[in-house]
Amino acid sequence: MRAPLLSLCLLLAPALSQAQERPSKAVPALAKAPKLDGNLKDFAPSVTFRPPASTDATASFTARVAWRKDTLYVGVEATDDQLIAGDLITLTLFFPGAGPTAIGNTFRFAFDGKRASPPDSGTSASAQEKVDVGVLRNDDKLNLEIALPVTAFPRFPTVDPLVFDLCVTFEDQDAVGQKATPVSNCKDGGMIGDALKLPEEFRKGLKLKPSEEATALEATQGGWLGWGILHYPVWVEAEKPLTSESLRSMVAPEAVEPEKVNVNIPETLTLSGGRTLLTVVSGKDPYAVEGKCDSEHELRLGLYLLSNKDRTAQSVLEWPAATCALGRALSINLEEDGALSIGYSNGAITNFAWSGDHFARTQLGKR
């Protein structure tokens, strides 16, 4: 499973190194957590930034950033000629070094507190729920004290420096129904000037031990995911012992039930020594329309090995479960010596051997 990733890793190395080499300012630690009341007197030490000066804007802000334990704190002091319900402050957090498929998380606030994130932002409901804010409004001034726990973060690197962009945008609406004018410290999705950086101490404090294949971490409902260089999770740590159902909900919320897509894949397999493998089938069924096969769609099979009293799972194989070329997986057999075979409806049989921590393909089979 690892060898095919080498060429892709080499291609991505320049992009990742650029994120590491980017100039950044260290975010300081607070001696104690600030009280979220909108009064920023307890918000020190901190890094301060502002949007570029503009003669056209009627709104502006100053933002402060600091951290403590597992939480990033953001203070915003905004001013406007008139504050109305349509005035929004949007905060986006993004780690460029988290990989090519990583996106940022976006949160919105107004003078009445937290608002829903934009539907197209990709920010999960659980991340939005975990963010807390204190608001203080006084005439044309609006102060926000925002607590972003690491469980509300988007994906962040497992090893590379914790360099991130923090974009604050004041969407200033001068009248009800009028188009808002954005005032931001970012351009084209990145901060104008230096980025920000959390210390290694922040990451170590989480006490997570992902697999070597995990290049990025992200909290999810029920635990943590470690994402590989491609698009799927390679490591899971759960708050409770994992079951087939809970693993699927964490690694593939849109997982499909094998019997409903006519693939014959059991929920569990057992390696020698009694070690348990859980299966996850995800993707889109290429045979959804009877009598046709959509070559743009496929189903994928993920095998995860349980450990640590079933609270941790590591990906040991990711392979097609149904494609137009192979057909549907009709059989999956695991021998005592670790030999695994998957048989498909188009006649192909793919064989694998257990190599200590993953399955390695041993022959092509027939197509």
Task: Give the model confidence (pLDDT) of 13-57 as tens digits.
Answer: 444 444 446 899 999 999 999 999 999 999 999 999 999 987 677
pLDDT at 315 over 90: yes
Whether the pLDDT of residue 11 is over 80: the answer is: no
Quick: pLDDT tens for 257-296: 999 999 999 999 999 889 999 999 999 999 999 999 999 9
- The 10s digit of each residue's pLDDT in 173-201 is 877 767 878 999 999 989 999 999 999 99
Q: Read out DSSP for 48-71?
A: EE-PPP-SS-SEEEEEEEEEETTE
Return all residues near 349 (Cβ < 8 A) that are at least 6 apart: 341, 342, 343, 365, 366
DSSP 215-236: -EEEEETTEEEEE-SSSSEEEE
pLDDT confidence of residue 130 = 97
> Token match 């490591």: residue?
235
Domains of the chain: 5-203 (2.60.40.1190), 232-363 (no CATH)
Model confidence, pTM: 0.87
Contacts of residue 225, Cβ cutoff 8 Å, sequence gap at least 6: 217, 218, 219, 233, 235, 236, 250, 251
